[in-house]
Every structure is written in structure tokens, then in C-alpha cells.
Amino acid sequence: MQIQNAIFDLDGTLIDSMPVWRKIQVDAIEENTGIKLTEAEQQTCMQYPYFEALDKLRDRFPAGCDRGYVFRQSMERMAKVYREGSIPFKPLAKEYLMFLKEHGCGVGLSTATPKELCVPYLKLTGVYDLFDCIFTEEEIKVSKSVGPAVYDASLAFLGGTKENSAIFEDTLSCIRTCKKNGYYTVAIAGSLTPPEYLAEIKPLADRYIQSYKEMMH
């Protein structure tokens, strides 16, 4: 496929932030509820937007637990990490963004991460100007695991079609959304993706890559 427009997820797709997200989210839940999350429950936090994950885990929380407070506390802690610019990019991710721009491709970001977190990070790390547009679940008000609206917003801004555009994602729930709605989808290996999720991701995506090097030819 000749890609004319590329639309990226951020966390786990362009940057290797999932281990940081996992620690912060799990710590916030355990500190505020007193429960110890199982490995499967920790994976729920990784595979779904965080507030949606909190909702899925609500039956485990004690009565009166304020999920909104847990969410805000996690966001505040993660914001500090983003402001420091310490989260590494995945290997050759920056180079691939530059490769796309050099070849005249439109580049969009469709992310669950709020703009007050991701924009300062992108500016600090020198890649903000490589994106033609940035849309978040917060402003579109639809989770990527539920519907394609945040991808659709980037596609419309770029003036592309599903036939000449590709979505880059790492999580199973989002890849399901993309494929269900007719998007050409490139799945990239995630550092915390469990084998059982990979077993479904690989045949579901149109292409599965271990590194962005595979895209630069």
C-alpha cells in the first residue's frame, strides 16, 4: 500500500510510555482502594482507556471509592512525567515521522492522551511540528475502543481517504475499532503486550511490525 496519510496513536505506538502508565495507574488504584490488582486486571488498564478501565474494575473497588479522584491523581502524576520529556520514543519512530514528511505525506495524531499532557511533550522532544493535526478522545468525546471518531477527525483534516491512509496502533481494542470501520491498520509491537493479545492482533491488523525500520523503504 502507498501511504499518503498516516495517523498515529501516541502511547505505546510512537513512545514507549506504557510501562510508566502501568506503574502510575496501578499504584493509584492500589493506594486508593487497598486492593492488589491481578495481572489480568493490570492488563485491563493497559488495553483500554484509563477511565474505561476503572469502570470495568469498579466491582473490585470498595463502596464509596471515587474513581474520578483515582483518574485525576494518575493524570497529575503522568503530566509531571510528560513535562519532563523523559519518556523515550520507540526505535526509529522520530525518523519515520520525518521520513513521511519528506515524502509529502500527511501526518496526524489521534490519541487518548489529553492535549495538556501530549502537546508540551511533543514540543519538548522536537516533533510537534511534524504533525499536521492532533485530535484527542477528550475533545472528540468518543473512546477509540468504542468508535472511530478520533481517527475520522484526523482523516478529515488531512483530506485523505481510508484507501490511501493508514492507522498505526498498538492496543487490541483500538485495532478492532480500526478494522471494524474499514481502516488500513498497522499494528506495532508493544513492550507490555501479552502473548494472548498478540495472537489476535497479528492476524487482525493489515500489517504487523516490530520496528519502524520495516516501513522505511
Q: What is the pLDDT of residue 159?
A: 95
Distance separating alpha carbons of residues 52 and 121, to the nearest angstrom? 24
Q: Do 61 and 148 belong to one domain?
A: no
Q: Do 136 and 205 belong to one domain?
A: yes
Residue 63 vs residue 134, higher pLDDT: 134
Q: What is the pLDDT of residue 3?
A: 92
Candidate from 35-44, 72-81, 84-93, 119-128 with smallest mean pLDDT: 35-44
**Segment 146-186, tens digit of pLDDT:** 899 999 999 999 999 999 999 999 989 899 999 999 999 99
Q: What is the pLDDT of residue 33?
A: 84
Mean pLDDT of the chain: 90
Q: What is the pLDDT of residue 53?
A: 80
pLDDT at 77 over 80: yes
How far is Cα of residue 63 from the mean position of the Cα atoms in its chain?
31
Q: What is the pLDDT of residue 44?
A: 77
In this structure, what CATH number is given to the domain that contains residue 101? 3.40.50.1000
Q: Do 112 and 141 belong to one domain?
A: yes
Residue 193 vs residue 210, higher pLDDT: 210
Residue 2's pLDDT band, with cuts at 50, 70 and 90, is confident
Q: Do 57 and 108 belong to one domain?
A: no
Q: Which residue, of 84, 109, 126, is where some domain finishes?
A: 84
Q: Which residue, of 36, 65, 84, is where some domain finishes?
A: 84
Q: Do 11 and 97 belong to one domain?
A: yes
Q: Which residue, of 59, 84, 109, is where some domain finishes?
A: 84
Q: What is the pLDDT of residue 164?
A: 94
* Overall domain count for the chain: 2
Q: Do 76 and 175 belong to one domain?
A: no
Q: Do 32 and 76 belong to one domain?
A: yes
Q: Do 38 and 108 belong to one domain?
A: no
Q: Do 74 and 96 belong to one domain?
A: no
Distance separating alpha carbons of residues 39 and 6, to the nearest angstrom? 33
Q: Do 60 and 143 belong to one domain?
A: no
- Per the structure, the complete domain to which residue 12 belongs is given by 5-16+88-215
Q: Do 98 and 79 belong to one domain?
A: no
Q: What is the pLDDT of residue 28?
A: 87
pLDDT at 66 over 80: yes
